[in-house]
Amino acid sequence: MADKKEVLRLQELAYQERVNLCKLCESYDGNIHMGGDMSMTDVLICLFHHTMIVDPDNIKMPTRDRFILSKGHGAVCMYIAMALRGFFDYDEIVRTYGKLDSAYGQHPCKVRLPGVETSTGSLGHGLSICVGMAAAAREAGQKHRIFCMMGDGETCEGSVWEAAMGGHALGLGNLVAIVDRNKQLMTSFSEESMKMESYADKWRAFGWNVIEIDGHDMNEIVDTFDNLPSSDSDVPTLIVSNTVKGKYISFMEKQIKWHAGSFSKENLDQALADLKAVFEEQKKEAQLCQ
């Protein structure tokens, strides 16, 4: 069972992450992929602040876990999660995000940002890269894990399923892929276009150890990552993280137009009020459990 204090600490970080994203969305002169950022926030926070062995003061530590944001359009969500962990400076992100020559591009670039393992943005490539990294770690006798975050829409790319076959064939138990299953693509709901269900069964058929979770329930997220199979086991793990696009923002949840957008002052005020109400509830629940 997840430790309640730790869960509340992570919920507070997820709250800060969402608040920071919302503030940036109001100040930035352009669109931000808010919908999918809000859906993957809780899992990203658990990974960077609880699960992964990483050290912002020693970013090249050979034993570190590796994280690849295959849904690279969610870059700023990753930048902020990493800033909260001490990798980057949030003020610099706000000042430079998306501007010409900024290190904080709309898609992550490993050349400009030490600590980012791989440049992504063209969907469908992250899992193949992760299979290679996991196989290389195996070959070198290393024990760290490779984590890959994909969008469910992204898994419409055939290359994902080639990588899924490869990960299984190579017996890569050190590979953990997460699909942010928010059931929305860029301009449609997934079941109205690609009919992905029964989604988890597809991965099972490819030989993966599949775990389905509520990707907004921090207790369940922590429990799941705390109980991953050992990295030297021989079956890769796929976590279907069932989420809601735009989670916790009243005017954004499940709205197709909020794949990406920008905030007015009124939007920001509403979003901050929505988030505060949710976090107050989470704090109350934590007190009841004490």
Ligand X SMILES: Cc1ncc(C[n+]2csc(CCOP(=O)(O)OP(=O)(O)O)c2C)c(N)n1
Q: Which residue from 209, 206, 128, 138 is spatially nearest to 176, judged by alpha carbons?
A: 209
Cβ(99)–Cβ(28) below 8 Å: no
The residues, ordered by sequence, that sit 6+ positions from 25 with a Cβ below 8 Å of its Cβ are: 32, 34, 261, 262, 263, 267, 268
Considering only the stretches 55-63, 110-118, 145-153, 205-213, report the one whose residues sit in contact with ligand X under the rule CB under 6 A: 145-153
- Binding ligand X (rule: CB under 6 A), the pick from 17, 42, 117, 180 is 180
Q: How many CB atoms lie within 10 A of CB 33?
A: 24
How many chain residues interact with ligand X (CB under 6 A)? 20
| Shortest Å, Cβ 191 to ligand X | 12
- Binding ligand X (rule: CB under 6 A), the pick from 105, 108, 153, 173 is 153
Q: What is the C-alpha separation between 151 and 43, in angstroms, rounded? A: 13
- Binding ligand X (rule: CB under 6 A), the pick from 17, 42, 65, 154 is 154
Considering only the stretches 21-29, 97-105, 178-186, 198-206, report the one whose residues sit in contact with ligand X under the rule CB under 6 A: 178-186
| Shortest Å, Cβ 72 to ligand X | 7
Query: Taking CB under 6 A as the criterion, which residues in 54-113 touch ligand X?
Result: 71, 73
Closer residue to ligand X (CB): 43 or 82: 43
Q: Which residue from 1, 92, 22 is spatially nearest to 278, judged by alpha carbons?
A: 22
| Shortest Å, Cβ 171 to ligand X | 27
Q: Which residue from 72, 181, 70 is spatially nearest to 128, judged by alpha carbons?
A: 70
Q: Is the peptide bond before 198 cis (omega within 30 degrees of 0)?
A: yes
Query: Taking CB under 6 A as the criterion, which residues in 108-127 touch ligand X?
Result: 121-124
Cβ(78)–Cβ(49) below 8 Å: no
* 22 sits in which H/E element: helix 4-27
Query: Taking CB under 6 A as the criterion, which residues in 219-258 touch ligand X?
Result: 245
- Binding ligand X (rule: CB under 6 A), the pick from 20, 51, 118, 182 is 182
Establish if 168 lies at the interface with ligand X (CB under 6 A). no
Establish if 184 lies at the interface with ligand X (CB under 6 A). yes
Q: What is the C-alpha separation between 116 and 63, in angstroms, rounded? A: 15
Establish if 151 lies at the interface with ligand X (CB under 6 A). yes
| Shortest Å, Cβ 62 to ligand X | 31
Note the residues at the interface with ligand X (CB under 6 A): 33, 35-36, 39, 71, 73, 121-124, 151-154, 180, 182, 184-186, 245
